């Protein structure tokens, strides 16, 4: 599968367009109704809420945000599907899984991280040296998301049949414990778990997602919010994109503040943020094609239950202004 690598020119282009956008944050207020619009936004600790506040882009909102904190992306998607939230965020495959089940949601923006920051880890004392050594091993990862996809794609690349290894569907907390205990042989996971495991547990990376996975996190909105609260949703996407660009130029400050909120070690977060270089994306034809290829591969792996027309799941209009202003 041909996956487009992290494109720094798109990041810079988006940065310039955000600074010169015709719809500025100051004039956007005029488009809101006299009655204050309320956006119900799902978040995780140390996520978008703290990013907006740390960067200063949470100030002077022309609408109100009701934040709800969740332990992971899956319940955010469930709440969006149930109509309890307007906006949330999640990984690309998790979003597609819920969309495929009929959820009335669309991806309207998002970010991309370096694909190398999705990795397969082994213990420091493991005899496993590379992906070629994974035959017959017990491999843990999240079912229906990046973990399972990376395991399958890595095995396929190493010319190992999927049935010649055992997949253990475990979330990050349980998988970390299992790896340390030796009850699994390898663990497919993302940042900041990769940095924590390598820095604190001395785990080793034996494979990563480069060339295999899009590594996209989507901003997701309900169809109802898109229809009835569009101006507020558009403004939030712009603020999140600007905040993300701010973070790239303030990684130590971002890591320090997020460490205080999450109680994660500051050195772990700085390592993770430095490796990820998470940047906002424009949802354009290249992103649609890239995610379509990953989606089709996920269907072949039986991670997704059916083939999806990704172009109908991704709403390009919220980032179209940024893409078209250059």
Bridge partners (DSSP) of residue 89 are 219
Q: How far apart are CA 39 and CA 33, in angstroms?
A: 13
Spell out the domains of the chain, with CATH numbers in brackets: 8-114+214-324 (3.40.190.10), 119-208 (3.40.190.10)
Residue 14 pLDDT level (bands cut at 50, 70, 90): low
Q: What is the per-residue pLDDT for 71?
A: 86
User: How crowded is residue 134: how many other Cβ atoms within 10 Å of its Cβ?
Assistant: 23
Which pLDDT tens digit goes with each residue over 95-123? 999 999 999 999 999 999 999 999 999 99
Q: Got the DSSP string for 101-162?
A: TT-SEEEEEEEE--GGGSEEEE-TT-S--SGGGGTT-EEEE-TTSHHHHHHHHHHHHTT--G
User: How crowded is residue 26: how many other Cβ atoms within 10 Å of its Cβ?
Assistant: 9
Vertex 255 angle, CA 16 and 236, to 5°: 45
Q: What letter would DSSP give residue 4? A: P
Name the phi and psi angles at 68, rounded to 5.
Answer: -125, 130
Listing from the earlier edge strand, what are the strands of the sheet with 279-280?
Answer: 64-69, 38-43, 87-91, 216-222, 105-112, 279-280
Q: How far apart are CA 158 and CA 177, in angstroms?
A: 27
Residue 74 pLDDT level (bands cut at 50, 70, 90): confident
Q: What is the per-residue pLDDT for 322?
A: 56
Q: Which of 8-17, 128-137, 219-228, 272-281 has the lowest mean pLDDT?
A: 8-17
pTM of the prediction?
A: 0.84
Q: Which residue has the tokens 């990820």?
A: 276
Q: How far apart are CA 138 and CA 128, in angstroms?
A: 12
Structure tokens at 185: 């042989």
Q: How far apart are CA 172 and CA 288, in angstroms?
A: 28
Q: How far apart are CA 194 and CA 180, in angstroms?
A: 13
Q: For residue 294, give the nearest of 93, 109, 100 by alpha carbon.
A: 93
Q: What is the per-residue pLDDT for 157?
A: 96
Q: How far apart are CA 57 and CA 78, in angstroms?
A: 27
């Amino acid at each position: 599968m041909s996956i487009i690598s992290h494109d720094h020119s798109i990041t810079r282009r988006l940065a310039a367009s955000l600074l010169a956008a015709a719809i500025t944050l100051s004039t956007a207020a005029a488009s809101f109704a006299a009655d204050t619009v309320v956006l119900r936004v799902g978040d995780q600790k140390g996520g978008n809420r703290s990013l907006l506040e740390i960067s200063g882009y949470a100030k002077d909102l022309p609408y109100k945000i009701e934040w709800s904190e969740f332990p992971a992306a899956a319940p955010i998607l469930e709440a969006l599907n149930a109509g309890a939230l307007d906006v949330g965020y999640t990984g690309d495959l998790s979003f597609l899984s819920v969309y495929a089940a009929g959820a009335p949601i669309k991806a309207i923006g998002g970010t991309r991280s370096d694909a190398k920051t999705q990795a397969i880890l082994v213990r420091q004392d493991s005899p496993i040296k590379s992906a070629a050594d994974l035959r017959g091993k017990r491999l843990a990862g999240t079912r229906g998301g990046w973990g399972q996809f990376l395991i399958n794609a890595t095995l396929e690349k190493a010319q190992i049949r999927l049935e010649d290894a055992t997949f253990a569907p475990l979330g990050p907390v349980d998988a970390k414990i299992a790896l340390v205990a030796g009850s699994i042989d390898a663990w497919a996971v993302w940042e900041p778990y990769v940095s924590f495991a390598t820095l604190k547990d001395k785990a080793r990376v034996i494979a990563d997602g480069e060339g295999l996975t899009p590594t996209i996190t989507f901003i997701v909105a309900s169809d109802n919010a898109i229809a009835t609260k569009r101006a507020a949703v558009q403004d939030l996407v712009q603020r999140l994109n600007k905040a993300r660009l701010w973070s790239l130029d303030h990684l130590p400050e971002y890591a320090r503040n997020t460490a205080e909120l999450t109680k994660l070690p500051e050195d772990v977060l700085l390592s993770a943020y430095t490796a990820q270089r998470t940047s906002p994306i424009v949802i354009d034809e290249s992103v649609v094609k890239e995610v379509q290829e990953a989606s089709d591969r996920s269907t072949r792996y039986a991670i997704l239950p059916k083939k999806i027309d990704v172009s109908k799941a991704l709403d390009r209009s919220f980032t179209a202004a940024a893409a078209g202003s250059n």
